[in-house]
Amino acid sequence: MPTPTDPHSTHPVIEFRDVEKHFGDKTVLKDLNFSVERGERVTLIGPSGSGKTTILRLVMTLEELSAGYIYIDGQPLAYEQRNGKRMPVSSREQKKIRTRIGMVFQQFNLFPNMTVMQNITEAPIHVLGKSKDEATARARELLEQVGVPDKADAHPTQLSGGQQQRVAIARALAMDPEILLLDEVTSALDPEVVGDVLQVLRDVAENTNVTMLIVTHEMSFARDVSHRVMMFDGGKVVESNDPETIFTNPSNERTRQFLSAVLRDS
Ligand SMILES: Nc1ncnc2c1ncn2[C@@H]1O[C@H](COP(=O)(O)OP(=O)(O)O)[C@@H](O)[C@H]1O
Ligand SMILES: [Mg+2]
């Protein structure tokens, strides 16, 4: 059994196998199969309401998996096969795996009652068991890295959207995640700060080997940072290829339509 951080692990870092997700009687994901390799940066594109956020929330264990399996480094995340039966993974095991995954949300989702410093150090202290001094020192480095070194004592409401999102990125990175999930992280921002926040993420992509699963409508960002783009529609991956091919010569008609609509709007 490979250890979680085993760089020689032959398993994909993320694997969806026959995943289904229903909300009530509405099927959002059906027979969804894909995998993401270690260090790979994959962007998920597709129409609004197609289930992109749901995919990320499933990886983050924020949604219940209706059917199928998700594996992180080969370890079952929510359900596993035991004696030919589909059985839930213990919540203790689930929590352990989840500490290796960070997520940045469209709406920042900072804890409003905590300072920036508390937002960033809370999980490293309480989940990873870091000392307060160590967590604080790392948080200061990260605040510097994301470009808001002077905001440690501020509360989220005192920050602009762009600043809040920088803090949210720092908070995710403070857990040293193996996997970083980004859900339309610039969609709620004023246009003039979008480029700066994306630059922070471009630097993360360039300077770390964190695996990224990205949902974005920023196509030039997607093109620059992704190793692979997956077009997703009707609950399934309809096309998966390198960004150059997807953006210049998509093979799927649905991808072609989607991209021409998105590129026309931007
Ligand atoms: N908690 C929920 N309850 C019911 N329906 C939901 C819930 N979350 C998402 N959905 C539905 O699932 C579909 C996929 O949503 P979502 O994953 O947010 O799509 P996307 O991120 O691609 O826009 C949508 O039809 C949405 O209305
Ligand atoms: Mg979404």
Number of domains in the chain: 1
pLDDT at position 3 is 47
pLDDT at position 264 is 80
**Residue 49, token pair as written in the block:** 């309401």
20, 21, 22, 23, best to mutate for ligand 1 pocket (most atoms within 8 Å of CB): 23
The protein residue whose alpha carbon is closest to atom 4 in ligand 1 is 23
The protein residue whose alpha carbon is closest to atom 14 in ligand 1 is 51
pLDDT at position 138 is 98
- CA–CA separation, 23 and 195 (whole Å): 35
Give the atom of ligand 1 at the shortest distance from the alpha carbon of 57: 17
Question: 48 CA to middle of ligand 1, Å?
Answer: 9
pLDDT at position 6 is 58
Residue 56 lies in a domain: no
Q: Do 33 and 22 contact (CB within 8 A), yes or no?
A: no
- CA–CA separation, 122 and 200 (whole Å): 22
pLDDT at position 234 is 86
Question: 65 CA to middle of ligand 1, Å?
Answer: 14
- CA–CA separation, 121 and 108 (whole Å): 16
Question: 229 CA to middle of ligand 1, Å?
Answer: 21
Sign of the four-CA dihedral 30, 31, 37, 40: negative
Could you give phi then psi for residue 59, rounded to 5 degrees? -65, -35
Residue 147 lies in a domain: yes
Residue 89 lies in a domain: no
Q: Which amino acid is at 35?
A: S
Residue 191 lies in a domain: no
Residue 155 lies in a domain: yes
Residue 114 lies in a domain: yes
Residue 230 lies in a domain: no
pTM (two decimals): 0.94
pLDDT in tens, the chain (266 residues): 444 555 566 899 999 999 999 999 999 999 999 999 999 999 999 999 999 999 999 999 999 999 999 999 999 999 999 999 999 999 999 999 999 999 999 999 999 999 999 999 999 999 999 999 999 999 999 999 999 999 999 999 999 999 999 999 999 999 999 999 999 999 999 999 999 999 999 999 999 999 999 999 999 999 999 999 999 998 889 999 999 999 999 999 999 999 998 888 76
Give the atom of ligand 1 at the shortest distance from the alpha carbon of 46: 22
Pocket of ligand 1 (CB under 6 A): 23, 28, 48-54
- List the domain range (segments joined by +) for residue 147: 103-176
Residue 118 lies in a domain: yes
